[in-house]
Amino acid sequence: MSLGIAGMGWVTPLGSSLAGVWERLLGGDKAAVEAISSPLGPACNVLPVPAGATAQAPTHPRLRRSSVISRFAAVAGLAALEDAKLQLDADTAARTALVFAVSNGGVIYTRRFYHDIVESGSQAASPLLFPETVFNAPASHLAAILGISGASYTLVGDGAVGILALKMAEDLMRNETFDHCLVVGAEEADWLLCDAYRKWRLLRSAPPIEPFQTPPRGTILSEGAGAILLSRNGSIQLEKIAAGTNFWRQREAGDAVQKIFAELCQAETDLVVASANGTFVDAAEHAAIKRNCPGSKVLAIKGALGESVGASSLWQTICGAQSLRTQLVPADLLYREKGKASPPAGQLRHAVVSVCGLNQQVAGLRLAKN
């Protein structure tokens, strides 16, 4: 079965226009950090979505009380449909599936909801907040906005969850019931996440994020959403999706990533869009790239966009597809080749997206330009 990318959209710390953010990445822009205060410790730096980036969010009643993660998802999802020039009516919505990928989910409302319980007792718990803490609340809002009344799935996982969602979409598209599948990954930043990742020894306090550095100095969390509309055709094909594997201890990450690369890099690979984020997973990915596709260009976008966990692998896939579409690569984000000119037209035909999550999940996919 042929599976292609029909449309893409994103909300990132560099904005929410597909072409605009891509231009900024090509121009060498990196998202600016902003300190968010924590009531329980030092302030932490994150890469937030700028306020104007969700200005075009629909004025749907479902978004009135929702957390920002749902707004990110709505803006990205609608942008992907617009990019594909697909307008959903009752018939097309019935033939469109939604697969939502998330890692931390609606952490802001969850933290607020539980904070009230801890501080003031269960009688203070808000019935307005609780439904928004449920992992599938953003997917439910997006389905309501789009009028999708059939298949809607929310997948949870670590940074690999976006690829796992694309894999699930591929499986769903085997069913002739569906013409399209919209895959959305989203995440929102909060001080509680920063505290957790800091205690997990995965964060650094200030930029830059240095992918593939030894020793790893940590990453910076970001937020936003990525959306990819799949159809049975499209100028960018998903040639292969490696459903992933798991590792149990950090030292086993290398074998798990190697397995993914061995599966995806059997044919010529021009570009690897890496998940390197300045943490322990970079070494595993680096070794696998060196062994399986040593001649490929390696793009590490988290140096500019940060680690948004549930959204990141969708962003990586969008960057891979944009590289193939535009035949340009953000030179400043190329590992080992910083400052070199972007490749001339016609050289990029295949890209591999790899993800080594921070909590034991590994996955990847291979894109091809038609």
Partner 1 sequence: MPEISPKNRPADTARVAVVATGIVSPLGFGLGETFTALREGRDCVSPVTRFSVEHCRCKTAGQVSDVRLTRAGEPQLRSERLHRVAQMMILALGEALAQAPGFQPELSVVGTTSGGMTFGEEYYRGLKGSRVSTRSAASLIANYTPQKPVMDAQEAFGLSAPCQIIANACASGTNAIGHAFECVRSGRYQRVLTGGYDALSELVFVGFDSLQASTPERCRPFDRERSGLVLGEGAAILLLENFDSARDRGAKIVAEITGYGLSTDNHHLTQPNPSGSGPRQAMEGALQSAGIAAAEIDYINAHGTATPFNDAAEGKAIAELFDGVAVSSTKGMMGHSLGAAGAIEAVISVLALQNQFLPPNINFRNGDAGLDLNIIEKNSQPGRLRSVLSNSFGFGGTNASVIIRAIKG
**Contacts to partner 1 by CB under 8 A:** 40, 62, 98, 102-103, 110-111, 113-115, 117-119, 121-123, 125-127, 130-137, 139-141, 143-144, 147-158, 164, 167-168, 171-172, 174-175, 192, 195-197, 199-201, 243-246, 248, 359-361, 363
CB atoms within 10 A of CB 72: 31
Residues near 166 by Cβ (< 8 Å), separated by ≥ 6? 99, 183, 228, 230, 238, 241, 317, 365
CA 307 vs CA 120, 124, 188, 312: distances in Å:
34, 34, 11, 6
Rounded CA separation 332/25 (Å): 8
Least separation, in Å, of the C-beta of 48 and partner 1? 22
Which is closer to partner 1, CB of 1 or CB of 51? 1
Tokens of 244: 């992933």
215 prior amide bond cis, ω within 30: yes
13 prior amide bond cis, ω within 30: no
Rounded CA separation 352/333 (Å): 16
Which is closer to partner 1, CB of 234 or CB of 357? 357
What letter does residue 208 receive in the DSSP assignment? Answer: P
Least separation, in Å, of the C-beta of 60 and partner 1? 11
Least separation, in Å, of the C-beta of 150 and partner 1? 6
Least separation, in Å, of the C-beta of 279 and partner 1? 13
Least separation, in Å, of the C-beta of 153 and partner 1? 6
Which is closer to partner 1, CB of 69 or CB of 155? 155
Least separation, in Å, of the C-beta of 145 and partner 1? 9
Name the residue type at position 258: Q
Least separation, in Å, of the C-beta of 139 and partner 1? 7
Which is closer to partner 1, CB of 174 or CB of 340? 174
* Look-up of token digits 């997206």: 353
Which is closer to partner 1, CB of 140 or CB of 219? 140
**Largest CA-CA distance found in the chain, in angstroms, rounded:** 64
Residues near 3 by Cβ (< 8 Å), separated by ≥ 6? 170, 173, 230, 231, 232, 237, 238
Check: CB of residue 306 under 8 Å from CB of residue 47: yes
Which is closer to partner 1, CB of 52 or CB of 121? 121
What letter does residue 336 receive in the DSSP assignment? Answer: T
Tokens of 302: 């988290």
Least separation, in Å, of the C-beta of 209 and partner 1? 20
Which is closer to partner 1, CB of 168 or CB of 220? 168
Which is closer to partner 1, CB of 167 or CB of 297? 167
